[in-house]
Chains A and B, each alone.
Chain A
């Protein structure tokens, strides 16, 4: 207790020097905490956005070969795959059967291009909750030949609830198709990079792309535990492979290869056609892999900068304590004369360095928390690729307690190491010598 008190007072003895050292530590802590929380926020945003955009964690798509040897994106063995999933015993929150197509919506003389998701509302409950309905009734999408449009498109077209719009798209085999649908809801769908989808019933979209009513193009599995993603993916792949139903893996790379794979490869000519559906299983991690590796690289750069800054600070601390030792030589001799043991003197130095570290770290943490709060308050309205890093228009930054604990511990250990040699020298001082040389 005595030594802790003495150490505490000593920290404030040379105020300027201590403040300088503590500020250096605080700055390091601030930088690493902020960078950490930002890269983490980027990661969270990327995953949230992709998972919202893709509507799940594990994705199953299928390819079928037409009599003319062209592939198309569809699952024409729905019962088979439904049974396989049911038998697997996965812990699933939702199983979504979907078809989607990029189409042209035409109303009067206006037209706009949009991605149309075919959904089965009897099966999907979560979606209706996420979507904000501005006008009309989203649940009317249960009827066929209906469509829900985002506010922006509805406005651009000048269409209103009850209006009939023309929807033009390509079928899976590449022919143009044109259908008349009724606008039943005007919606805001946040969370897919700030871009909205249009929605229609699964059977209507199937009709538009010319596949059977009970078919679909992909299945999105929403897991109750996102961490089981890889395990579920692997199990499915293995089972499909044993049943000879897996699409052969092809090596692909590039920033958006994962996304392309997930979305299927469009129509291509094949020499060796297969029967039924060849399935492909991907997951969120595959899709976000490239972006996440970018984020992780940033994270490592931040850590490297932190370590370099820390090392520079350490040299400063070590030098300061060497100076402290010289300044207090008589005081140390005096304390030793009065009966302070050598290890008391050693600990005094270590305590001082520890307190300095704690002081600096806490200050850095406080500033970091303030900065993070400010960042959370910022809103971004742009629509560029940067929306990948925001959720609902803001950066989901938060203090990452694990990394805070790790960097604090690292700073503390490093500060103690920096003070170690001066502390040992102080403890080794010969009292007689110290009293004679110090004034």
Chain B
């Protein structure tokens, strides 16, 4: 069974007296370990799809099943716990906590309280520290641990966000247009970094982009137009 399973998902938003039909019957599957791109023009529904995978939004119709559980069957507390346990997030605006240092930002998800099934629940403080340091090293920011987000460039901030998204060893990391606020060279580096992490840690990545160029790196591409799947294919993997 796929880790993510969308079954005929619709989403409508109220807009004044009318409604916006953001998703019009989306069905898609994502397997563990995949590096998935959701691509499509602005306003096509990418963020809406990612929000549903990320359990921060629920469908108006149809089912979103994450790891065998329909998200609409969970209450706010359970769904928050599921996010904490299994998901990591990367945002277009980086969304680091400005009053925390780079190190503290990456550490933050680890301090949110572990359930007994979480991989890091049994870690000692020492092990946590080593893991955070390791992640910072991996994203190339080993020397920036004590900096504040405001002292970093956009690319560096997004690297911190990647490290933070990976801190709890999630099954899946979601990235909504992670390169949209970066120049193309830095954007490429970020995509490459995510790809590296996908391969070294086996973490599933789902990221969206309105830039058709990024499609080459993905091994699973979902093209969305006007809230519908336009194309859904796997590229040849090695």
Q: Which residues of A contact B (CB under 8 A)?
A: 1-2, 6, 9-10, 13, 330-331, 333-342, 344, 431-432, 435-436, 439
Contact = CB atoms under 8 A, between A and B. Distances in A.
B100 interface: yes
Contact of A338 (B57, B84, B98, B99): B84
B104 to A, nearest CB: 8
B171 to A, nearest CB: 14
Contact of B84 (A339, A432, A439): A339
B54 A337 contact: yes
7 contacts: A2-B108, A334-B97, A339-B81, A339-B84, A339-B112, A435-B51, A436-B47
A331 B112 contact: no
A333 B80 CA distance: 12
A435 B99 contact: no
Contacts of B77: 341-342
A344 B112 contact: yes
B62 interface: no
A13 B56 contact: no
Interface in B55-77: 56-57, 76-77
Nearest to B104: A5
B80 A6 contact: no
Interface residues of B, number: 27
A79 B147 CA distance: 89
Contacts of B91: 334, 435
Contacts of B21: none
B236 to A, nearest CB: 33
B184 interface: no
B6 interface: no
Contact of B97 (A331, A333, A342, A436): A331
A341 B93 contact: no
B97 A337 contact: no
B154 interface: no
Chain A, interface SS category: helix
B95 A330 contact: yes
Contact of B99 (A6, A334, A436, A439): A6
A338 B108 contact: yes
B89 interface: yes
B83 interface: yes
A305 B102 CA distance: 47
Given A339-B112, A341-B77, A9 B83 contact: no
A6 B100 contact: yes
Given A13-B98, A331-B97, A432-B56, A336 B108 contact: no
A354 to B, nearest CB: 17
B97 A13 contact: no
A10 B108 contact: no
B201 to A, nearest CB: 18
A334 B80 contact: no
A144 B3 CA distance: 111
A436 B97 CA distance: 17
B218 to A, nearest CB: 23
A9 B164 CA distance: 20
A428 to B, nearest CB: 10
B177 to A, nearest CB: 12
Contacts of A341: 77, 80-81
Contacts of A431: 56
A1 B83 CA distance: 21
Nearest to A331: B97
A10 B77 CA distance: 25
A2 B97 contact: no
Contacts of A9: 99-100
A339 B100 contact: no
Contact of B112 (A334, A340, A436): A340
Contacts of B111: 1-2
Contacts of A10: 99
Nearest to A334: B95
Given A2-B111, A13-B98, A432 B83 contact: no
B109 interface: yes
A336 B54 CA distance: 11
Contacts of A436: 47
B100 A334 contact: no
A251 to B, nearest CB: 68
Given A344-B112, A431-B56, A339 B85 contact: yes
Residue among A331, A339, A342, A431 with most chain B CB within 10 A: A339
Contacts of A340: 80, 84, 112
Top 7 nearest A-B pairs (CB, nearest first) are A339-B84, A9-B99, A2-B111, A334-B95, A432-B57, A431-B56, A432-B56
Given A9-B100, A13-B99, A337-B83, A2 B112 contact: yes
Contact of A330 (B57, B81, B89, B93): B93
Nearest to A342: B76
A431 B89 CA distance: 12
Nearest to B164: A338
Contacts of A333: 56, 95
B131 to A, nearest CB: 16
Interface in B98-120: 98-100, 108-109, 111-112
Interface in B179-195: none
Nearest to B111: A2
Contacts of B109: 338-339
Contact of A342 (B57, B80, B85): B80
Contacts of B99: 6, 9-10, 13
Contact of A337 (B81, B85, B89, B98): B89
A13 B98 CA distance: 9
Given A334-B97, A340-B112, 5 more contacts: A6-B99, A339-B80, A344-B112, A436-B47, A439-B93
